[in-house]
């Protein structure tokens, strides 16, 4: 990783950050502290676990909370979150690092989110008789835990005193390897996105840009998504039909690439000051952290990742605002997409023809938009409740 860091800035952030982990823990955690440890792989898992983290923060205010990330995309964005007292990169999972890390944190309780399973760390927790649970877990039969060669990772799974899974298939897979301390609680992200409705989602610059137009928000887009969407935008964008593009990657090269392909009147978020935003038809969000609020202004949302091979991004965030959501067709690893295509208001498209027909129908039919949007909101409301089940179990 140190060699790769010479050529990759993201990997370098992780390498440099991990070198500081033990010093940070020694500085901010005393042997007498009562501690709780949260671990997330990246930003998505953090958002997934956040409603549980917030409840634990409220219910155990005298505990010192440690939050660890493996990926820079989580750590760098949430390194100042108030949900934890100490925020660090997870060290590389060696036996030596695991013992040193657990000794320094000495957690009374540990929460892992979804799938980031590190054998040495978990086995060290077990060795020290420390409690740990896994929440919002999602398992597939092709994972190592369920293969003949997955003995060590199976042992790591068995260190959790309880696993809360998203669906019944995950429970069956765990039962098949004789793990029985499992509850189908659903996905904590439904609780998380529902909480968004209770927050202040107002963004004055979005209100100015949108004005009285119909607005399509393109969230977490990749090149494969943009290749379909940009020609459509160039044909249709007007003062009555506007587009907001919030790409997943906001580096200068990607932003310039998007801008260069757009013939419609376009403004960047970073260049919005002193401009009359109502005069523009496309707004590119070249920063992070605003998308969940921006979705509240959308009449239609397109969520990226499933048109290529990068993985579908969060379709629950826009759905909670009661709008129809369009995605690509590579969503096989995302059970919420299957369910919401079948029972709610998510539409999967495979090519530019599908995209054009779908958008044209939704743009011209308020009734169709409202129907699909209401189905999405209803689905979100009915899928909440995972946090209550998890918190009912946790007693520290």
* 54 in catalytic set: no
Cα angle 343, 386, 369; round to 5: 30
Beta strand segments in 162-235, E: 162-165, 182-184, 214-221
Phi/psi of residue 183, nearest 5 degrees? -130, 135
Beta strand segments in 139-278, E: 162-165, 182-184, 214-221, 241-247, 266-268
Round to whole Å and give the CA distance between 177 and 161.
15
**Residue 16 DSSP symbol:** H
DSSP codes joined into one string, 328-345: -S--TT-HHHHHHHHHSS
Return all residues near 67 (Cβ < 8 A) that are at least 6 apart: 37, 38, 39, 40, 46, 53, 78, 81, 83, 84, 86, 87, 88
Cα angle 149, 48, 210; round to 5: 135
Q: Write out 124-138 in H/E/C secondary structure.
A: HHHHCCCEEEEEEEC
* H or E element at residue 15: helix 9-18
Annotated catalytic residue, options 45, 124, 226, 336: 45
Half-sphere exposure (Cβ direction) of 83: Cα atoms closer than 13 Å: 18
* H or E element at residue 43: helix 43-59
Round to whole Å and give the CA distance between 57 and 59.
6
**Residue 2 DSSP symbol:** H
Structure tokens at 96: 């030596």
Residues taking part in catalysis: 45
């Amino acid at each position: 990783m140190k060699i790769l860091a010479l050529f990759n800035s993201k990997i370098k952030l992780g390498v440099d950050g991990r070198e500081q982990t033990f010093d940070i823990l020694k500085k901010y955690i005393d042997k007498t502290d009562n501690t709780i440890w949260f671990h997330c792989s990246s930003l998505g898992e953090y958002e997934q676990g956040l409603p549980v983290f917030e409840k634990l923060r409220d219910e155990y205010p005298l505990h010192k909370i440690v939050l660890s990330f493996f990926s820079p995309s989580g750590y760098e964005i949430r390194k100042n979150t108030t949900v934890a007292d100490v925020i660090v990169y997870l060290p590389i999972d060696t036996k030596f690092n695991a013992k040193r890390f657990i000794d320094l944190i000495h957690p009374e309780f540990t929460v892992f989110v979804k799938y980031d399973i590190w054998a040495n760390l978990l086995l060290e927790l077990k060795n020290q008789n420390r409690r740990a649970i896994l929440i919002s877990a999602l398992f597939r039969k092709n994972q190592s835990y369920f293969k003949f060669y997955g003995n060590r990772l199976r042992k790591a799974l068995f260190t959790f005193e309880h696993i809360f899974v998203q669906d019944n298939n995950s429970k069956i897979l765990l039962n098949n390897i004789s793990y029985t301390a499992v509850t189908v609680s659903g996905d904590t992200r439904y609780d998380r996105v529902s909480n968004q409705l209770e927050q202040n989602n107002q963004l004055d610059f979005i209100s100015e840009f949108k004005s009285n137009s119909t607005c399509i928000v393109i969230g977490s887009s990749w090149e494969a998504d943009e290749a379909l969407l940009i020609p459509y935008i160039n044909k249709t964008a007007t003062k009555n039909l506007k587009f907001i593009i919030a790409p997943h990657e906001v580096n200068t090269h990607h932003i310039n690439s998007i801008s260069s392909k757009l013939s419609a009147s376009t403004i960047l978020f970073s260049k919005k000051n002193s401009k009359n935003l109502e005069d523009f038809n496309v707004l590119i969000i070249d920063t992070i952290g605003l998308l969940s609020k921006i979705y509240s202004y959308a009449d239609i949302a397109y969520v990226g990742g499933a048109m290529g091979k990068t993985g579908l991004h969060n379709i629950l965030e826009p759905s909670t605002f009661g709008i129809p959501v369009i995605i690509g067709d590579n969503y096989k690893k995302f059970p919420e997409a299957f369910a919401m295509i079948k029972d709610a208001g998510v539409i999967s498209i495979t090519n530019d023809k599908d995209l054009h027909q779908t958008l044209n129908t939704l743009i011209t039919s308020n009734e169709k938009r409202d129907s699909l949007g209401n189905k999405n909101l209803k689905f979100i409301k009915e899928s909440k409740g995972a946090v209550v089940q998890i918190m009912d179990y946790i007693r520290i």
